[in-house]
Amino acid sequence: MSESDIIGSIGVTLLLIAFLLNLKGVLSTSNLWYILLNILGAALCGISAYMISFYPFVILESVWVVAALSSLFSRVSRETLNK
């Protein structure tokens, strides 16, 4: 198994964990752990795709990271305003 395979496998595993925990009702999409799993998982998948020069997937995962970061910033803003 190559380095890119390992990184990609870890990334996909993190994304699937977040997805399954959400399906089971353990984590909501606004939960900090859900957001962090998505950011890290998508980033690792994107790095793996870049390592093998599969650029359509790099773009997809980059957008996923940006969307998850946006969710994180919104969550932090809401918490800051509620203090």
pLDDT for the residue 78: 85
Cβ contact 62:46 at 8 Å? yes
pLDDT tier at 74 (50, 70, 90 boundaries)?
very high
Query: Which pair of structure tokens corresponds to residue 49?
Result: 């795709």
Among candidate residues 48, 47, 19, 57, the one with its CA nearest the CA of residue 35: 19
For CA atoms 65, 71, 72, 74, give the dihedral sign: positive
Gyration radius (Cα) of the chain, Å = 14
pLDDT tier at 13 (50, 70, 90 boundaries)?
very high
Across residues 26-35, what is the average pLDDT?
Answer: 96
Stretch (H or E) spanning 53: none
